Structure 1
Amino acid sequence: MTQVNQGVRPKQSGKSPVKQPSLSQLRAFTAVAEHLHFRDAAAAIGMSQPALSGAVSTLEEALGVQLIERTTRKVLLSPAGERLAVRAGVVLEAVAALMEEAEAVRAPFTGVLRLGVIPTVAPYLLPTVLRLVHERYPDLDLQVHEEQTSSLLEGLAAGRLDLLLLAVPLGVPGVTEIPLFDEDFVLVMEQDHWLGGRADIPRDALRELPLLLLDEGHCLRDQALDICREAGRTQGAPVTTTAAGLSTLVQLVAGGLGVTL
């Protein structure tokens, strides 16, 4: 038989329960940490200055630490505030990512999609891609970022970009590659070049030709140099001129400065 003691309460710890900070408090604190000015911080997040000040004070009370050092002239972060501002920013970014993910599940092809694309293909593919995306997915906010391959991969790893359009293979761990199409390399030369008109140009012709290439950092430059090395072009063979874009390279070729791939 079990005896039941009525009216007996379990022992309670002397420590009061820790209050959990709200997202509104974290937003207020990170805004102050960024602007170091209550009025500017309040305007940045659309909150009244008294409400913002109250949110920060409540957060300090909940955490049990002083975050802001207030003086008559300026606002400073305390040492603890500097550390916790970083943590608060991470929390808010994670919440924003959670909301974006939930929205993507609820309504696919809506919201923001950040596309990174290399400069060598952007002018030629984007007009078609952007038109098709707008026609098929009118609720999708496609944001385009044109950068070199290394910068795009850094953006993908950091979560700044969602999708990349660049040359493969890359062989980067954790990155899924989906080949879309293949393109042949062609040798571009001025109209009256001595190789012009030939149906088949031997690769060894690349060994000594004055070669024009894109600037360092462009994947197309590296691929062109790989072809030249396969053709027996030595490391010291001159690359006479470089350019930032393909259209410039073609104009340089037309001006008689060399050939390009």
Structure 2
Amino acid sequence: MILAGLSLRDLEYVVAVAELRHFGRAAERCAVSQPSLSAQVRKLEEQLGVALFERTSRKVLLTPCGEAIVSQARVVLDEARRLLALADGSDGGLVGRLRLAAIHTLGPYLFPHVLPPLRARWPDLTLILSEGRTDGLLEELRDGRLDAVLLALPVEGEGLTAEALFFEPFLLAHSAGHRLCGAPGLNLNDLDPSELLLLEEGHCLRDQALAACGLTARGGGVHATGLETLRHMVAAGAGCTLMPLLATRTAGGGAADVGGLVAYRGFDGDPPGRTIGLAWRASDPRARGLADLAGLLRGRLPAGTAAA
């Protein structure tokens, strides 16, 4: 096989199909027609002499050989981006495209706050935003599918750099007629564990809420798939929950109270909460620019949070 026959663009096509498991959506991501993308993938398979995908009328699956080749294709594409960053002469600054993700319980509430200063600082930077759960986002970060992740610290694992941005306190979210409405103060030991509503397993906020209340992992019961569902469960009178500060506000800055059915209260003394940070690969040639991004975010703290 001739090395010159390999194209970085073809590798991008293959990685897109592998990630999306769909030729049509992969073509949309790569801004080409589906027939063109399919033809190039077929051509690459012929050049390599292996089938990368198992195609059916309903789904697309990676073959065992395809898994290995796609993994290596990500490495090749990541190194190609490093080459472009070096050739650009940016000296580690942020140029081109930045794939920035955040955990589900943070992204929708923090992105509106950080995008204006970020766009003002790097107007030519192309931002690709996404959300996910901590474990999945860190896997994508290590594999080179993401460039930086906003998440709750600490971050475990080698090869990553993480900088703390701010401390976000948790508030108690309860229904408007809850027994704690008229209480003069609020402490964690005032909560009834049987009333505590949680996110489903896999969300780091679930573990943080349990730890804050001094509880061990709890199975059974009713769990929410996301914060908005959790908020509406509280509004329906199903119980109470710990809600991150940023998630208690609307885009306009008011309380997200679901028509007055939800109330929020802060805790006395040192409140429970989480430290939000920015993580990236230590080997990324744009490390200086990512550190600058962390500094920018740290300098624009959301109201009610504290410097970490």
User: Which TM-score bucket, shorter chain as reference?
Assistant: 0.5 to 0.7
- Partners of 2:94 and 2:122 within 8 A in 1: yes
CA positional deviation for 1:26: 1.8
Query: Counterpart of 2:165 in 1: which secondary structure?
Result: coil
The counterpart of 2:226, out of the listed 224, 228, 245, is: 245
The 3 A distance-change label for structure 1 pair 217 and 140 is same
Please identify the structure whose Cα radius of gyration is greater.
1
Judging changes above 3 Å, is the alpha-carbon distance between structure 1 residues 94 and 209 closer, same or farther for their aligned structure 2 residues?
Answer: closer
Give the one of 182, 186, 190 matched to 2:175. 190
More contact order relative to length (CA 8 Å, sep ≥ 6): 2
Q: Aligned runs of 1:195-210 on 2, under 5 Å?
A: 195-210=180-195
1:120 counterpart (93, 105, 108): 105
- The alpha-carbon deviation at position 46 of structure 1 amounts to 10
String of CA shifts for 1:92-116, please: whole Å, max 9, x gaps: 4255233333256437332011111
Contact 2:74 2:143 in 1 (8 A): no
CA displacement, residues 5-27 of structure 1 (integer Å, 9 cap, x when unaligned): xxxxxxxxxxxxxx9843xx222
Distance of 1:221 and 1:91 partners within structure 2: 33
Give secondary structure in 1 for the equivalent of 2:172. coil
Which amino acid in structure 1 is aligned with residue 155 of structure 2?
A: L
Alignment of 1:177 onto 2:162: yes
Distance change >3 Å, CA 120–CA 20, structure 1 → 2:
same
Structure 1 runs of 4+ off > 6 angstroms? 84-88
* C-alpha contact (below 8 Å) 1:148/1:218 kept by paired residues: yes
Helix, strand or coil at the partner of 1:145: strand
- Tell whether 2:199 aligns with 1:214: yes
1:93 lines up with 2:73 in the alignment: no
Tell me whether 1:153 sits opposite 2:138 in the alignment: yes
Residue 224 of structure 1 aligns with an amino acid whose one-letter code is A
- CA deviations 1:14-44 (Å, max 9, x no partner) are xxxxx9843xx2229x67x969xxxx99944
Assess, with a 3 A threshold, how the Cα gap between structure 1 residues 94 and 128 changes in structure 2: closer, same or farther: closer
CA separation in 1, counterparts of 2:179 and 2:98? 48
In structure 2, the gaps of 5 or more residues are 18-32, 51-64, 243-308
Please report the RMSD computed on the Cα atoms of aligned residues, expressed in angstroms: 4.3
Cα distance in structure 2, aligned partners of 1:41 and 1:195: 57
Query: Structure 2 vs 1, CA of residues 173 and 198 (structure 1 numbering), >3 Å: closer, same or farther?
Result: farther
Preserved CA contact (<8 Å) 1:112 1:140: yes
Give unpaired runs (5+ residues) of structure 1.
Answer: 1-18, 48-52, 61-65, 69-80
Give how far 1:242 is off: 1.6
Tell me, yes or no, if the aligned pair for 1:114 and 1:161 is still in contact at 8 Å. Answer: yes
Q: 1:234 and 1:134, CA in 2 relative to 1: closer, same or farther beyond 3 A?
A: closer
Choose between structure 1 and 2: higher strand proportion.
2
**Secondary structure of the corresponding residue to residue 180 of structure 1:** strand
Q: 1:256 to 1:118 in 2, by over 3 A?
A: same
* Aligned residues with identical type, % of pairs: 36
Summarize deviations over 1:79-131 as a string: whole Å, max 9, x none: xx99x977984684255233333256437332011111011111111112222
Structure-2 residue corresponding to 1:106 = 90
Task: Compute the displacement of 1:45 (Å).
Answer: 10
Tell me, yes or no, if the aligned pair for 1:188 and 1:260 is still in contact at 8 Å: yes
**Normalising by structure 1, what TM-score?**
0.64
Structure 1 residues 199, 180: CA separation in 2 closer, same or farther (over 3 Å shift)? farther
